[in-house]
Structure 1
Amino acid sequence: MATSTVAAGAAQSYTYARPSGLDGGLLGLSTSGGTTSTGPQAHPWFFSGVLTQAAPAAAALLALADVAQTRYHQPRPTAFRDPVVTCGGDRLRMESFSACGGVYARLDVLEAALDGEVHERGTTNVDVNGPLREALARVGGSDPLHLAVGAEGLAVTTLDGAVVEKKVPLPDRWLRGFAEVQVITAGFDPRAELAAPDAVRFLRSLPRGGRDVFWALPAGRTLRISSRPAPGAVCLAGSDRLRTLLPLLRFARALRVYGPPVTGASGPASSVWELELPGMRYVLTLSPQHSRGFSGEGAVLDALATDEAAGDADLVGALLSFEPRVDPDLLSERSGLTLERTKAALTQLGTSGRVGFDAAEAAFFHRELPYDPSRVAALNPRLRSARALVEDGAVRFTADDTAIVSTGGGERRVRFVGDRVTCTCPWWIDHRGERGPCKHVLAARIVRQDADVMVEAGR
């Protein structure tokens, strides 16, 4: 039985029993190998029914596909990577990353826009091909659109026995980006909400082809663009990366923006731009700069570097069942862990892509990426380097809060000051911790945590 796999050489193989298509008002999305609540399946069957809002759904699916084949930084032709789809019972979530790894896109088709039967919960890839894109571009009017995500019997055979297999490069940075983005956005708060007319005016007024870093400041019913940060502002790095919102504006009901706390001295930051559609949400998350992909942000490194929450994550992960909204209090009760440990376990699960984060609901959601999650840690060069330093005995503590890390480039001093850690290496001097810890800090943390574990064990 064919499944979707990741080859060691960073290639993704999508195997479908037949191509997706739009025929006679039926939108059939073929599924590749994925994980369901009943275990792995080659061609899971998730949903059959009706999309009650056909035109905005078709336009949003096209927008999602456009992000997946776009390289915003240094544009050049790129292979298309099929979207990741999760059926959570009351909604379908479709996710993709830009080829450059700097834009994460998600389409949430909510219960209000679905009328049908859920056959299974889980995550897979779906085939979005050229002919399907052309057909979606012709969808209009108010007629409902029949939808099948997977199809009964596809896991066994099809009428003609045909198999469609697509192999595309799967860059390491694209895979790591899935793990990074939900860890980053979990700390975001709502910053602005614009009604549909104001959202349309604002988005259409943005400079075309803009790659500069701007700041969007709430100003009455709209947002004002500034070149400088200020409290309450949201970073807008590369306004051209919002262009897939423009074809959806005729369906827009509101625009919501999310971001981290900002001061007048803040540097570029990620941001979330959410367009509310009838029964749906189309979400774009932008990296801090046009040229920066999420894979280099380093937000997951602290969680990956130690085993502190790994055991709890295994326990909590076993209790997840593709819920569209993960309730930490309920998980805490079911697992027997404290609420604090449960939340730490969810962060750990996020580092391998097993949970995503929905800023609109300020909640994690369960999904299992149809890629090997163990690759995330192995693919991170800073983490690999940090572990090599530990194995070579390059870390020595000269005080409880100070470590010296010996490298080929000389000795680096790592200092722990409360919740902050500093290093004397060029990486830390350039980024001041804004792009995650350097390899020296990671190595010192690993040694320090191992020492704490030994002390606890000796008591």
Structure 2
Amino acid sequence: MFFFTIDMIPEINTICYSYPAPSAFVAGSEPRLLLAGYSELEKAAGPAFFHGSLEQPYITARCLIALSNVVRSSFTLSPAQAGQMKDPIVTAGAEKLRFEGFSQCAGVYARVDVLPGGHRGTFSANGTVNVDFNQPMINALHAIGRSDTMRLTVNATAISVQSRPDESITEKKVPLPMKWIKGLTTVQLFLAASEKMHTLNKVQLRQLFQGIPAGTVKADYYLAVRGNRPAFSPVKTANAVCVGGIHRLRLLEPLLPLADELQVFVHPDMQSTTWQLYFGNVRFSLSLSREAWRGFSGEGAALDALIADVPERLINAMDKYGHVNQEFNATLLAVEEQAGFEQIDQLTARLAAMGLLGFDPDENIYFYRRLPFKLNRIMSLNPRMKDAEQLLAEDKVAIVSQKENKTEARVAGSGVTHTVVIEDDLARCTCTWFAKHQGERGPCKHILAVRKKLN
């Protein structure tokens, strides 16, 4: 019997977990990729989530290598910090396989989707595991040729295998950064709000990526399409898409010769861009935060959605619905269940804040994942919301005036009183946080406290 242990380590801000056995690539006449899994929520042994063959093994292997490159990369951390490898997350459900990961700095999110038609096998159960992508496995993926076949097993239990009779791979205890959990709560909300702006064919996407300047680029660049020719430029023009840290797009370069097309999804406030490559029944998505120095984990996109008090029984019911159905469209779910759109939005936001929901902008659906995460950790990942709760508990929020669409309030601070004005959907505050960010990184704790008092 093998026992997993979870240790919360505040000073290094990670969740630590151990694998019961290493993942491995098993060579032979029919190569297999075996991914050892860990789950905090599913402790009992069960069947493999997926077991079968991949219809596009060469393409899928290249996409997984690109995903591992994202996970190894960092655009803000020191070499020592970036040297700690982290492992991607894989979800099996709704006849799809989804591999996800963040860069070390949490400013780049990547996902590989193997869609129906991209595999031939059995989904014996639905589930999510944190998988071990060690160097021997990556080397084995590099060795897969265009004419090779590969079988894939995604399992939630211990797997002890060898890639060669005389060689085994040992898995070590791996830290799962809290940044990843925080990033997953934010990037999904950005994706859900994004809209498709451009679709580029093979020729166009190669022309476009030739225009990425060399080296690290600190200034913003803009994507514009003139006629049929897309181009990056440091000059902002009408309807151009802003791309911060454009050098991060080089992570896609190894996949460009293989891709059929590229689609670009853009957040309404340009807070993120998503670059999605298509390879038949396999997709590779790369989402970039607004600036290279600021990861998705530092954003506050989920805060407004966490203001309303949602009964835990509804969250649990929604959790079970997501686990059973694996995918859902929030709007259609509200209609089917005869529930209010606002309530469904609040519930999906809670599940996203727990890391239990991802979003597929191509199909406009949420997909369900299970992570080593629990409901009571939401506040610890959102200190501004925690501070807002404290302001209310200490009775430091006073409503000065309230009209039909405008509210003015005073919030006591450390030696100063802040004024908060909320008019329709817009809010402003006199604090230094709001003055610095102007709402681009979510509301300040004073605005959150006032909105929660009004709720």
Report the TM-score, using the length of structure 1 for normalisation.
Answer: 0.88
After superposition, the Cα gap between the structure-2 partners of 1:224 and 1:156, relative to the gap in structure 1 and judged at 3 Å, is closer
SS in 2 for 1:186: helix
Q: Distance in 2 between matches of 1:156 and 1:168?
A: 17
**Is 2:329–2:364's contact at 8 Å kept on the other side of the alignment?**
no
**1:244 aligned onto 2:248:** no
**Is 2:244–2:292's contact at 8 Å kept on the other side of the alignment?**
yes
2:38: which partner in 1? 33
Cα drift, residue 324 of structure 1 = 5.2
2:266: which partner in 1? 259
**1:348 aligned onto 2:353:** no
Cα drift, residue 84 of structure 1 = 0.7
SS in 1 for 2:292: coil
Q: Distance in 2 between matches of 1:98 and 1:135?
A: 22
CA displacement 1:122-156 (0-9 Å, x = unmatched): 111111101111111121223322222228xx559
Q: Distance in 1 between matches of 2:131 and 2:53?
A: 18
1:97 to 86, 102, 105: 102
Cα drift, residue 339 of structure 1 = 4.2
CA displacement 1:283-310 (0-9 Å, x = unmatched): 0110000100111210011122331476
- After TM superposition, the structure 1 = structure 2 runs for residues 28-427 of structure 1, keeping only pairs within 5 Å, are 28-34=33-39, 40-41=43-44, 45-77=48-80, 78-150=83-155, 154-155=157-158, 164-211=170-217, 212-261=219-268, 269-308=271-310, 312-321=314-323, 323=325, 325-328=327-330, 331-332=333-334, 335-400=337-402, 401-427=407-433
Q: Distance in 1 between matches of 2:184 and 2:305?
A: 15
Q: Distance in 1 between matches of 2:304 and 2:121?
A: 42
**Is 1:84–1:370's contact at 8 Å kept on the other side of the alignment?**
no
Letter in structure 2 aligned against 1:120: A
**Is 2:102–2:110's contact at 8 Å kept on the other side of the alignment?**
yes
After superposition, the Cα gap between the structure-2 partners of 1:386 and 1:2, relative to the gap in structure 1 and judged at 3 Å, is farther
**Is 1:109–1:279's contact at 8 Å kept on the other side of the alignment?**
yes
Cα drift, residue 20 of structure 1 = 2.0
CA displacement 1:385-404 (0-9 Å, x = unmatched): 22222222221111221111
Q: Distance in 2 between matches of 1:43 and 1:30?
A: 15
**Is 1:62–1:136's contact at 8 Å kept on the other side of the alignment?**
yes
1:23: which partner in 2? 27
Q: RMSD of aligned C-alpha atoms?
A: 2.6
SS in 1 for 2:86: coil
Q: Distance in 2 between matches of 1:46 and 1:320?
A: 16
**Is 1:20–1:132's contact at 8 Å kept on the other side of the alignment?**
yes
SS in 2 for 1:437: coil
**1:434 aligned onto 2:437:** no
Q: Distance in 1 between matches of 2:420 and 2:325?
A: 41
Letter in structure 1 aligned against 2:209: L
SS in 2 for 1:374: helix
Letter in structure 1 aligned against 2:25: G
CA displacement 1:363-404 (0-9 Å, x = unmatched): 211112233353233122212222222222221111221111
Q: Distance in 2 between matches of 1:395 and 1:402?
A: 11
SS in 2 for 1:112: coil
After superposition, the Cα gap between the structure-2 partners of 1:225 and 1:18, relative to the gap in structure 1 and judged at 3 Å, is closer
After superposition, the Cα gap between the structure-2 partners of 1:175 and 1:329, relative to the gap in structure 1 and judged at 3 Å, is closer
SS in 2 for 1:15: coil
Q: Distance in 2 between matches of 1:251 and 1:14?
A: 36
Q: Distance in 2 between matches of 1:440 and 1:197?
A: 50
Q: Distance in 1 between matches of 2:76 and 2:207?
A: 26
Q: Distance in 2 between matches of 1:73 and 1:140?
A: 35
After superposition, the Cα gap between the structure-2 partners of 1:393 and 1:360, relative to the gap in structure 1 and judged at 3 Å, is same
- Which region of structure 1 is more displaced relative to structure 2, 199-208 or 226-235? 226-235
Q: Distance in 2 between matches of 1:411 and 1:44?
A: 58
Letter in structure 2 aligned against 1:56: I
Cα drift, residue 251 of structure 1 = 1.1
Q: Distance in 1 between matches of 2:109 and 2:409?
A: 37
Cα drift, residue 330 of structure 1 = 5.5
CA displacement 1:72-96 (0-9 Å, x = unmatched): 1244133112111110131100000
- Which region of structure 1 is more displaced relative to structure 2, 95-104 or 377-386? 377-386
**Is 1:312–1:342's contact at 8 Å kept on the other side of the alignment?**
no
1:452: which partner in 2? none
**Is 2:87–2:133's contact at 8 Å kept on the other side of the alignment?**
yes
**Alignment coverage as a number of residue pairs:** 439
After superposition, the Cα gap between the structure-2 partners of 1:252 and 1:422, relative to the gap in structure 1 and judged at 3 Å, is same
Cα drift, residue 17 of structure 1 = 2.6
Letter in structure 1 aligned against 2:295: G
Report the TM-score, using the length of structure 2 for normalisation.
Answer: 0.89
SS in 2 for 1:292: coil
**Is 2:301–2:442's contact at 8 Å kept on the other side of the alignment?**
yes
After superposition, the Cα gap between the structure-2 partners of 1:311 and 1:416, relative to the gap in structure 1 and judged at 3 Å, is farther
Cα drift, residue 281 of structure 1 = 0.6
